[in-house]
């Protein structure tokens, strides 16, 4: 496993420590790291986003992120342990 995939897996694994069904990037409750982590994962895949303005957890290690530029992405870990970002 190369270091990029390992880093992405670490980011997604870290985001699971922040429970909740919905977060906002400017939420004062402390869920800002989740939005930043998702934005970083999307950027590392070379996809446009800028800033994640909202995210909802679909399942364990599976998030739907909405970006400030209007793009929406599903960020999840597949059965092989790879981080996948799909445009929605």
pLDDT digits (tens, 9 = 90+) for 39-80: 999 999 999 998 999 999 999 999 999 999 999 999 999 999
Q: Which helix (H) or strand (E) holds 64?
A: strand 62-67
Give tens-digit pLDDT for 27-43.
433 467 889 999 999 99
How many H helices and E strands in the chain?
Answer: 2, 5
Residue ranges making up the domain that contains 18: 3-87
């Amino acid at each position: 496993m190369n270091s990029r995939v390992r880093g992405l897996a670490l980011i997604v694994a870290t985001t699971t420590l922040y429970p909740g069904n919905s977060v906002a990037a400017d939420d004062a409750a402390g869920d800002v790291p989740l939005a930043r982590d998702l934005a970083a994962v999307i950027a590392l895949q070379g996809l446009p986003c800028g800033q994640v303005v909202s995210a909802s957890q679909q399942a364990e290690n599976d998030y739907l992120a909405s970006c400030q530029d209007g793009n929406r992405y599903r960020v999840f870990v597949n059965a092989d342990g790879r981080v996948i970002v799909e445009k929605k």
